[in-house]
Amino acid sequence: MRAVIIFPLLFVAVQAADTVRVTLPLATETTGVWHISKAFADVPKNAVAPTLISAPQRARTKDSAAVGLFSVSFEITEGIPVNVQVDRSSDKELHDEVIAMILEWRFKAALRGHVPVPSQAYMDLSLGDPLPHYGKKK
């Protein structure tokens, strides 16, 4: 319980003063058993947010009936996710699968003018269908 209280405080303190938090736009719809429930990024001030443009999903390697919730963070540089980390999850056995999937995703990088700039992305993902989906059209 104590870690839950401390985590948000540390999380806010880590955000740099020269960045702003924005919703991460999806130019592609993710289809399959993985769903994005939240997506945002910390981008440098005066920069355009990165956009998810390709989100392939691998065939499931584990129990296809599994349901899980995952919070991940990663840096987007030149449109490629790097330093992918699973920050919270309901199933530690699926961490490698989540990381491998995100490493295959491609983004339009955050831009300041016409120059790509690194940004830090955060996503909440669900395996199966336990949550409403971010960016899903009704």
DSSP codes joined into one string, 15-48: S-TTEEEEE--BSS---SSEEEEEEEEEEETT-B
- Residue 77 sits in which domain range? 19-127
Percent of the chain predicted with pLDDT > 90: 45
Tokens of 64: 């296809």
In a domain, 12, yes or no: no
What's the structural domain count of the chain? 1
In a domain, 3, yes or no: no
In a domain, 138, yes or no: no
> Per-residue pLDDT for 32 more than 70?
yes
Strand pairing of 80-89 and 68-77?
Answer: antiparallel
Average pLDDT on 70-92 reads 94
| CATH code, domain carrying 95 | 3.30.2420.10
Q: 102 or 138: whose pLDDT is higher? A: 102
In a domain, 32, yes or no: yes
For the beta carbon of residue 120, count every other beta carbon within 10 angstroms. Answer: 20
The model carries a pTM of 0.76
- In tens, the pLDDT along 33-78 reads 788 889 999 999 899 999 999 988 876 655 556 678 999 999 999 9
Average pLDDT across the chain, whole number: 79
**pLDDT for 11:** 39
In a domain, 83, yes or no: yes
In a domain, 103, yes or no: yes
**pLDDT for 36:** 87
In a domain, 2, yes or no: no
Contacts of 86 (CB under 8 A, 6+ apart): 70, 71, 72, 95, 98, 99
